[in-house]
Amino acid sequence: MTQDRILLAHGSGGQLSHELVERLFLKYFDNPILARLDDAAVVRVSSFRFQVPGSSNLKAEAPNPKLAFTTDSYVVNPIFFPGGDIGKLAICGTVNDLAMSGARPLYLSASFIIEEGLSLDDLERIVVSMRQAADEAGVEVIAGDTKVVNRGSADGLFINTTGVGIVPEQIGISGSNARPGDKVIVSGAIGDHGMAIMSQREGLEFSAPLRSDCAPLNKLVAAMLEASREIHCLRDPTRGGLATTLNEFAAQSNVGILIHEGRIPIHDAVRGACEMLGLDPLHVANEGKLVAVVGEADAEKVLVCMKGHPYGAEAAIIGEVRAEHPGRVVMRTLLGTLRLVDMLVGDLLPRIC
Amino acid sequence: MTQDRILLAHGSGGQLSHELVERLFLKYFDNPILARLDDAAVVRVSSFRFQVPGSSNLKAEAPNPKLAFTTDSYVVNPIFFPGGDIGKLAICGTVNDLAMSGARPLYLSASFIIEEGLSLDDLERIVVSMRQAADEAGVEVIAGDTKVVNRGSADGLFINTTGVGIVPEQIGISGSNARPGDKVIVSGAIGDHGMAIMSQREGLEFSAPLRSDCAPLNKLVAAMLEASREIHCLRDPTRGGLATTLNEFAAQSNVGILIHEGRIPIHDAVRGACEMLGLDPLHVANEGKLVAVVGEADAEKVLVCMKGHPYGAEAAIIGEVRAEHPGRVVMRTLLGTLRLVDMLVGDLLPRIC
């Protein structure tokens, strides 16, 4: 790596994050499951080889359910924001990562790193909010941990949640499954979460309110998977935004992606705030949206299914997968020109999640 | 709770930690699995009920492997210390929590919260050390996450690891399984980790070196479980030390525990440092020791098995479980008197793990 110290941009979800993962974590934690870089690791329980003392290997007895496993630490600042808080985010984010692998989320762990001096009332509000989000998603928090660090050694509260789920046998979703001809669907308007955090943090006032879209998407995904077996890729465009997710799909699947600017749903308040601040909404984080790459024949059916769900009401087909320019994402702008859509580079907004 | 703000002692593993867990986390994350408060949550895969679209319920097809699930965030300060570093600790600690449920540890997630400015060389050393510990334990890191927070918002590096394992069918270990007559075995000398951290942090020099005992104990546990089916409780006495673990067993099992001061292995350097600093070694953290409660008939056999393992060479039977004084731990001192052994109260040494 060209730097010798960690920069904020190493945590942005963009290019430096990817470099750090590839040159350090993948290098040393070298295994094919991690190397897939999907939102959740999926392992067959048959990989769970072990000898039961005095009996035969359990492997022979068991079928092969596929276990999904994902982790995220949440460091969002501020811990309360319009539309949610760090607790709701910690449940929804991990539930969504499981759902994006096609898994039915089941169990979560929750680990708290608390700065000495945090108000117990605030902590209680956050735990209540976690419970509500867990109830909505239909998951249970079954393991936990609490650490307290001295004042000045953390910033209020960090929460890690790690989740397990099971992937139904016939489902094989991965960022590497996009095929030329597939359609790209986004489940709703982009940029709400990032702009809500930014306005809250910077004390910016806009005419229309900005509100995080933070939501558990597992039930939307379950409905989509019931509607079609041609859902090839699923991912929630969090850090790095829609542009980064599409670039990940293009790279993992070695395909090109063409999107149409005029079809991308964006709320007016977000568009206005982005224009004012000189931000590209394609790079702004979401916490209640997903991007699906769907076989062409099923795309309309999946879209209709999504529109019938509260978290997919504003869904839209925004583009298609191409054989041309593999590894690249290109956007046809409102002016009719083509522009390359890059992965987020540098640091748009740290500590968004 | 009597406080309205989080204190360092809420993270000590002692009485305030227990209050926080019971009055906040157990209250809102209300479920019987979490409520067992064992080192790892154990769930049957049969609890993994879900409908596969267009097929019958998978529940009917699957046997019932028991999944163990545990999480810990590591905030140790300093991140390098004699005998280990935060990375080795993060792998061993979570492997050990799985092993203490009788599980064979299989997969770990690793989530990094990094303070802007951390040296990449230091991060690489830590990741290498994680890989070495994972190899020794025979586990794989298959899911990960990286967050970077601005300078001053964390203290160098925090790592969360969350682990899954499978518990063989005939094994049912829990802190609530201690029965009168059972023997209490500790796998070696206590207090090494806590005193190594303290001496490093405070720059204290003692004549004999203090070195953390940080180690993965899953292979020791596997050997013990092969030697006997009468291992009732297992726990690694980390935060809060041996005294806190024994108090947890006494409370969860509603039994009394009597230990004998003269039988508790303690290295001279640790004893000397504790005396000098006025600390009770029973309250000092360990990261490579376990406490086992074993049926009387098998205790000697288990002890011999442990002594044959590198991480159990100094194992000793230190006491027994009694019907008298349920919920309490009592120690016969070297002077022949009896003294009550309390759970750690307050804050012996923050950020030990």
Report the CATH number that the domain containing residue A72 is assigned in CATH: 3.30.1330.10
Q: Does A298 touch chain B (CB under 8 A)?
A: no
**Which residues of chain B from 254 to 273 reach within 8 Å of chain A, CB to CB?**
none
**A324 and A199 assigned to the same domain:** yes
Please tell me the distance in Å from B345's CA to the nearest CA on chain A.
Answer: 15
Q: Which residue of A has its CA nearest to B169?
A: A52
| pTM of the predicted model as reported, rounded to 2 decimal places | 0.92
First-to-last CA distance in chain A? 25
**A130 and A154 assigned to the same domain:** yes
Mutate which of B2, B6, B221 to disrupt the A interface (most A C-beta within 10 Å)?
B6
The full DSSP string for A206-223 is: -SS---------HHHHHH
Residue A13 included in any domain = no
* pLDDT value, residue B63: 55
Q: Could you report the per-residue pLDDT of B15-62, keeping only the tens digit for each?
A: 888 889 989 999 999 888 888 888 888 887 643 433 333 444 433 334
**B159 and B253 assigned to the same domain:** no
Residue range(s) defining the domain that contains residue A227: 183-340
**A163 and A192 assigned to the same domain:** no
Task: Say which of B45, B72, B155 has its CB closest to residue A153.
Answer: B155
Indicate the length of chain A as a whole number: 353
**B139 and B249 assigned to the same domain:** no
Number of domains, chain B: 2
* pLDDT value, residue A57: 40
Is A4 in Cβ contact with B121 (below 8 Å)?
Answer: yes
Q: Which residue did the predictor score with more confidence, B351 or B305? A: B305
Is A160 in Cβ contact with B162 (below 8 Å)?
Answer: yes
**B145 and B290 assigned to the same domain:** no
**A130 and A234 assigned to the same domain:** no
Q: Which residue did the predictor score with more confidence, A348 or B169? A: B169
CA distance A141 to A128: 12
The answer to whether the CB of A344 falls within 8 A of the CB of A11 is no
* pLDDT value, residue A352: 86
Q: Could you report the per-residue pLDDT of B80-115, keeping only the tens digit for each?
A: 999 999 999 999 999 999 999 999 999 999 999 999
**A205 and A335 assigned to the same domain:** yes
Residue B10 included in any domain = no
Average per-residue pLDDT for chain B: 90
**B142 and B212 assigned to the same domain:** no
Record the tokens describing residue A220, joined without a space. Answer: 């939307």
Residue A237 included in any domain = yes
Tell me which residue of A247, A323, A234 sits closest to A42, measured CA to CA.
A234
The radius of gyration of chain B from alpha carbons, rounded to an integer in Å, stands at 20
Confidence of residue B64 (pLDDT cuts 50, 70, 90): low
**Boundary of a domain, candidates A167, A196, A211:** A167
Task: Say which of B34, B50, B142 has its CB closest to residue A166.
Answer: B50
Residue A350 included in any domain = no
**Boundary of a domain, candidates A136, A167, A198:** A167
**B333 and B188 assigned to the same domain:** yes
* pLDDT value, residue A39: 82
**A89 and A202 assigned to the same domain:** no
- Mean pLDDT, 10 residues at a time, chain A of 353 residues: 82 85 91 85 59 38 72 96 97 97 94 96 96 97 94 96 91 94 98 94 81 98 97 95 96 97 97 92 97 98 98 98 97 97 79 88
Number of other CB atoms surrounding residue B143 within 10 Å: 28
Sign of CA dihedral A165, A55, B168, B223: negative
Tell me which residue of B234, B271, B285, B289 sits closest to B76, measured CA to CA.
B285
Count how many pairs of residues, chain A against chain B, have C-beta atoms within 8 Å: 310
* pLDDT value, residue A60: 35
Mutate which of B16, B29, B96, B344 to disrupt the A interface (most A C-beta within 10 Å)?
B29
